[in-house]
Every structure is written in structure tokens, then in C-alpha cells.
Structure 1
């Protein structure tokens, strides 16, 4: 055994402990929010020392930013993995928004409100909404190119989707419509895929019995 092996093992152990602590903080923040916690309270809830928390971030605000970044990084990786092998742009768009809905499902309203009230964390989730809008814009362009979506301005559609996702994340859609976040994402998915489909695509999918485009009675 070389001298570098114990050092590498020690570093891996430290990294694993920090990753576990981030996961536990993320779970706590999603369930209860974060603005009302002090570092002492967080240390007590997680049964760790304040110095352990300071190893993650130098202040409570920096800790909140790191945890929120961790949440979105993990959610984005999961969503991208879920759709990475999908070649049908309509199915991919449905799956992307469904996965986004599921990733947001554990987030309590208090977490959303705390995230929106803090400029640093708000910037993180607004950046996430812009990334989602860019993903949808790319899918729309592909769908138009492949002839399954009618000719539309993909940039405009992406921008509208980004604004809608932000409104869902802030709780504005739920307050105005009574829909849960999950229901709002599902409705957005159907609105996009069905609304953008060409007439010939609608007809073809009806012939195959696709329920997503079945006509209202």
C-alpha cells in the first residue's frame, strides 16, 4: 500500500460525509423551508456540530445557496438522464415536464417562498427556469423541423414556458387556478404537445388511438 492510498481514502470519506449532509439538509429544507432556521438549530436537527456546517459554507445564507444549488443540480441530472435516450420529441417533452413536476413535488410551499424571498436562491431557481425554457425551445425547433409541430417561433414558446415554470415554482399558478404544481406541469405538457401538433399529426395520432390528442365530445 502506498502512502497516497490512505490519503485518497480519507478524502473520499470526507466527500461522502459532506454529500450525505447536503442530502439531509436538502430534505429538511424542502420539507420545512430554511429562512427561519439558525445554524444552531440546523446543527441540532442534523445532530452535527456548527463547525461541520461551516465546512460546507461560511454563513447561513451561503449554506442556503449551496443547498438550493445542490437540489437543482441533482434534479437537473435526474431529469436529463430520464430523457437522454428518448428520440421522439413529443414523448421527450412530456417526459421532461413530468420529471420536472416529480422533482418539484417534495418542495413545500414554505421552501418555495423562502427561495423566492432570498435574492441569491431566487437567482438559482430563475436560472433553472431559463434552462428549462431553453430545453423546451430546442424541442420545439426539433419538432417543427421534423414536421410533428406546426411552424411557431420556438424562442417565444420557450420564453412563455420559462415564465410559466417560474410562476408554478413561486406558487402563483396554484393560487390562481387551484392546481397542484404536479397538475400544473401536466397541464402545461398537454397544452404544449397537443397545441403545437400539426393537423396531420393530430389525425395520425387519433387513428392510432393516442389518448393525448383525443377530441373533446
Structure 2
């Protein structure tokens, strides 16, 4: 996953509002909510929401960025503490971070282009991170000699299919479950 350099939050109150928005969206999705609904649920004014973003569309996009930034930071913290089976640890952590999202949120994310674009960019960055981990594992002898670019491309393909909800449609697996399965397949397939 990727790290968006700056959420652009100016105050603790704004950060807290983004956290509250994220919790609301993760639990219930966002497509059905109006700015009036959101303001009422967060017990703030619409003008307060407009300090966060100029429109509902931009607010959803920024909350999506906030979600993936938090996820990236949590995943990288786990990876820093992991010395073996790093690809599995990474992909399982990705799955765990996605597991907090309701099906409604994931469907809304996929249906709303600005949020989907954030997820797509995050998926590309995650695939690049997996490539780095494959190269690292091959380099230190943990993984057999494989063509890292090919393996990373293969992983990127399935990650995109997960993100686009194709894996869910084909298998019934949630995004989190699909990442756990991918971690298992990759780990055993790459071992030296």
C-alpha cells in the first residue's frame, strides 16, 4: 500500500472528524449519505464539513486517502517487525486492514470513481511493494530464484482483480480473505 504524503489536516479537530467520517463510511458506506446526513451523524455543521473538503465527492476522496494512509502505516509497522515470511506478513496485514471495511463501503468505493482511483493507486503501490519483497527474499536466499518482475506482475494482476471485486464475484471471498489466500499461495510457491 502507499503512503500519501500529507492528509492536509490542519487541526486535531479536523483529524478527529476524518477519523469519525472514516468509521462511519467503513461501517455503512457513503453513497446513500448526504452532507446533511453526515453533519447530523457527526454532530457538526455543514460548514465544518466544508472546512474539510469543498464537496461531498472531495470529502469521500479525502476520507478514502485517510483510510489507505492509516492502513499503509499499520502495514509497514508490522513489516518492520517481521524478519521471515515477509510477503505473507505483508499480504495478511493488507487483508486485515481491509477486513474492517463493510461490504457496503467496498461496493461504494468501487462504484465511485474518485475513491476507486485512490484504491487503484494504492493497489499499484502495494504490488510494487510485493515486488520489492520478492527481490529481497530472492536476494537473501529465503526464496528460490524467480523472475521477480513476472512474479510481481502476477501478484499485481490478482490484486487488481481483488480491488475490482472480480475475485469476490468469482469465489465469494472478501478482499481480506482473498489477500490471505494470496499470501499462502505466494509464500509456499516462492520458498527455497
TM-score, with structure 1 as normaliser: 0.79
1:46 and 2:56 aligned? no
Structure 1 residue 87 corresponds to structure 2 residue 83: yes
Return the offset for 1:168.
Answer: 2.2
Instruction: Name 1:180's counterpart in structure 2.
Output: 174
Partners of 1:183 and 1:120 in 2: CA distance: 25
Unaligned runs of 5+ in 1: 1-13, 199-217
Residue equivalent to 1:26: 22
| Alignment partner of 1:77 is 2:73 | yes
Note if contact 1:30-1:107 (Cα within 8 Å) is conserved in structure 2: yes
- Partner secondary structure for residue 32 of structure 2: coil
User: How many residues are matched?
Assistant: 183
Q: Which residue number in structure 2 is paired with residue 118 of structure 1? A: 112
1:147 and 2:141 aligned: yes
- SS in structure 1 opposite 2:11? helix
- Quote how far apart the aligned CAs of 1:32 are: 1.2
Higher mean alpha-carbon deviation, 154-163 vs 71-80, is at 154-163
Alpha-carbon distance in 1 for matches of 2:143, 2:188: 9
Where do 1:150-165 residues align within 5 Å? 150-165=144-159
Which has the higher Rg, Structure 1 or Structure 2? 1
User: How far, CA to CA, are the matches of 1:100 and 1:187 in structure 2?
Assistant: 12
- Structure 2 distance, partners of 1:108, 1:158, is 28
TM-score (norm 2): 0.89
Structure 2 residue aligned with 1:9: none
Higher relative contact order (CA 8 A, sep 6+): 2
Q: Name stretches of at least 5 consecutive residues in structure 2 with no aligned partner.
A: 1-9
